Amino acid sequence: MLIDTFDRVATDLRVSLTDKCNLRCTYCMPEEGLQWLGKSELLSDDEIVRLIRIAVTSLGITEVRFTGGEPLLRPGLVSIVEQCAALTPRPRMSLTTNGIGLKRTATALKAAGLDRVNVSLDTLRPDVFKTLTRRDRHRDVLEGLEAAREAGLTPVKVNSVLMPGLNDDEAPELLAWAVANAYELRFIEQMPLDAQHGWKRDGMITAGDILASLRTRFTLTPEDDEARGSAPAERWTVDGGPHRVGVIASVTRPFCRACDRTRLTADGQVRTCLFAREETDLRSALRSDAPDAEIARLWKTAMWGKKAGSGLDDPSFLQPDRPMSAIGG
C-alpha cells in the first residue's frame, strides 16, 4: 500500500511514456521545443511494464493513466497496454493525449485493453488552435475524438485550458459542442508547469471565471462531495442532466486532502505531486537488478514523505524545475 503520513492512500498511477510532443502549446513549452531525454535515459517498455506490475500487484494501484509529453508518440504503447491489461488484478487504464494520433490508433488501443481517453482541446476555432499550439492540426484532433468515441474508449473526456485574450470567451461554446457530441468536458486552470516559467497567478482564468461564463447559457447543478470522491474535477450536471461538466481548479480550489495519485516520469522517477521539486529514482534500482521488494520499498518510502499540499498558496512557492512535458500531466 502507498500511504502517506496524512493517511492518504495512492491507488491512481500516472505514467509518463515520453517527454516528446508534436504540439508546442504556449502554456507548456517554447516554440522551438525542449532538450528531449536521451534514449538511454528513458525507461524501456519492459521496465515500464515491470514498474506497473509492481504497483498493481504489490502496492494497491487500481488505476493507471498513460501520459506524456504525447504518449501516442511512444512506439510500444499498444504492447504496453496489452501487457498491463493481462495483469491480475487488472487495472483500469486510460490515456491523456492531444488526440492527433487517435484516428489511426484508437481501435488498436481498445483491442489491447485501454478503457478510455482524455483528449486535450482548448478551442473550436482552427485559427486559435494554431495560435495556441503553433501547429495546424485542429482537424486531426476532432477526427481523433470521433475515432475514440467510435472505438468505445468512453467516456471520452475533453480537457480545455482557457487563456486570456485567446479563447477565454469559448467556455459556453465548448460545453454546447461537448454535449452535442457526448463528450465530457473538463476545464483546467492554467498551472505553473510551463517550461518558460512565465505563469502568473493574476493572469489566469479561474474556476470562478469559467463557471460564471457557463452560467450565462446553462443551468449547472453541483454534484455532492461523495460523488466526487478523490477525483480532481468538481462536477456539475448541465441543464438537469444527464450531461456533466467538470472544472479542475488546482490553483484556486486545491484538492490535495483527497489526492490518491502517484506519478512515474518517463525516466523512472517517482513524484508524489505534480508540483513537487523532489523525485525518487527507481530507474537506477531497476538497472542494478534490484528485486521487486526493494523497488516497492523505495516507492513506499517516497510516498510516505508526501507533503500535505502542493504549496501553491505559499508565497515562497517555486515551480518544479522540470515542465509538465517531462513529468507527465
Cα–Cα nearest to 266, from 11, 61, 36, 12: 36
The β-bridge relationship of strands 116-120 and 261-264 is unpaired
Residue 90 assigned ligand-binding role: no
Residue 183 assigned ligand-binding role: no
Which element (helix H / strand E) includes 187? strand 184-188
Bridge partners (DSSP) listed for residue 238? 220
Region of 151 please: left (phi>0), alpha (psi -120 to 50) or beta.
alpha
In sequence order, the 6+-apart residues with CB closer than 8 A to the CB of 143 are: 102, 103
Residue 84 assigned ligand-binding role: no
Residue 65 assigned ligand-binding role: yes
Residue 206 assigned ligand-binding role: no
Residue 27 assigned ligand-binding role: yes
In sequence order, the 6+-apart residues with CB closer than 8 A to the CB of 220 are: 211, 214, 236, 237, 238, 245
Residue 134 assigned ligand-binding role: no
Helices (H), the chain: 45-58, 77-85, 102-112, 126-133, 138-151, 171-180, 207-214, 225-228, 283-287, 292-304, 324-327
Bridge partners (DSSP) listed for residue 72? none
Residue 104 assigned ligand-binding role: no
82 burial type by CB count under 10 A (0-12 exposed, 13-18 middle, 19+ buried): middle
Residues belonging to the binding site are: 14, 21, 25, 27-28, 65, 69, 96, 120, 157, 191, 256, 259, 261-263, 273
Residues belonging to the binding site for [4Fe-4S] cluster are: 21, 25, 28, 256, 259, 273
Residues belonging to the binding site for S-adenosyl-L-methionine are: 27, 69, 120, 191
Residues belonging to the binding site for GTP are: 14, 65, 96, 157, 261-263
